[in-house]
Structure 1
């Protein structure tokens, strides 16, 4: 009978262990580390890319300036010249939404004939920015502004750009990604590995679309009027990519 009871108790213990296998796991002795799979080698590369496009927008900064003996006369002369500038811009097809006053000022003008200041009059100025959405009409717009304002007119700058920089930036990012992948493939081959999965991708500083300086002998364009050279617009992008090697 004692032997039968012992056999039954052993059978019950075995069934309990089978039902709860985690209970059969023996505790790991202190100081024994679990073996970990070796981490794969990685390669980190930086990709650079750029894309260009023809400008479809010209931003003209122009203004008027008038000097007179009194503040009111200076303002009157400035107002008349500014009205002529705005009228000429609208006649050239520049929409009201694309015309913005950038600054207005009225300042005294002094002379120093004998080392002491003498008030000569007042100078009134106003500056505008105008978006010309037909780039080939930029020269004609510049000429019209100059003709309308005469000696009071001032042309400060002309900048060419793209109205929607999104697609241009996207193409620059694609070029940067291709460059990073090509570099990673080369490093994998040189080190006797194969290129694995992409672990991380970080975008670096992205250059805003900017005009590319035209060549010195670039032909002038911009339609009839003041010759201009629109050139092209370039966007740049950089990415840092980490790939596994196997």
Structure 2
């Protein structure tokens, strides 16, 4: 008989300790199917990336408008592409005499906007 379960670890720095405890408790009967990071606050990260993308687009458009001797007008068109967040490869190092070290890497949230402004 087998039993599967998922463990959510809120602090990445505790991942190695938790894995060590599970393996110690279960011994050779334990099969670890993977360690997968996730963004616990992905919506906030996306909103932050969105705000930065719009601010950058507006700054660039303002610069072009000034070069043309014009003022930036109202927004005519806006579209957004949010890149999915892909898990980076996770590395784990373990020695019989030492604690397991887990490197979860970093996640990146990317938002790209295309904006068209009228010129005044």
- Please state how far the C-alpha of 1:227 moved relative to its aligned partner: 0.2
Give 2:110's aligned residue: 236
SS in 2 for 1:131: coil
SS in 2 for 1:176: helix
Greater fraction of residues in strand: 1
Give 2:84's aligned residue: 208
The root-mean-square deviation of aligned C-alpha atoms, in Å, is 2.5
Q: Output the TM-score relative to the length of structure 1.
A: 0.41
SS in 1 for 2:31: strand
Distance, in Å, in 2 between the alignment partners of 1:162 and 1:235 is: 10
Q: How does 1:182-197 map to 2 (within 5 A)?
A: 182-197=59-74
Distance, in Å, in 1 between the alignment partners of 2:78 and 2:68 is: 22
For structure 1, list consecutive stretches of 5 or more residues without a partner in the other structure. Answer: 1-74, 83-126, 217-223
- In the alignment of these two chains, the number of paired residues is 114
- Please state how far the C-alpha of 1:211 moved relative to its aligned partner: 4.8
Distance 1:177 1:133, change over 3 A: same
Q: Deviations over 1:42-72 (max 9, x none)?
A: xxxxxxxxxxxxxxxxxxxxxxxxxxxxxxx
Distance, in Å, in 1 between the alignment partners of 2:85 and 2:46 is: 8
Distance, in Å, in 1 between the alignment partners of 2:14 and 2:105 is: 15
Distance 1:179 1:212, change over 3 A: farther
Q: Output the TM-score relative to the length of structure 2.
A: 0.76
Runs of 4+ that moved beyond 3 A:
208-214
Distance, in Å, in 2 between the alignment partners of 1:213 and 1:237 is: 22
For structure 2, list consecutive stretches of 5 or more residues without a partner in the other structure. Answer: 92-97
Give 1:44's aligned residue: none
Distance, in Å, in 1 between the alignment partners of 2:104 and 2:77 is: 39
Higher relative contact order (CA 8 A, sep 6+): 2
Q: How does 1:216-227 map to 2 (within 5 A)?
A: 225-227=99-101
- Please state how far the C-alpha of 1:244 moved relative to its aligned partner: 0.8
Give 2:20's aligned residue: 143
SS in 1 for 2:15: helix
Which of structures 1 and 2 has the bigger CA Rg?
1
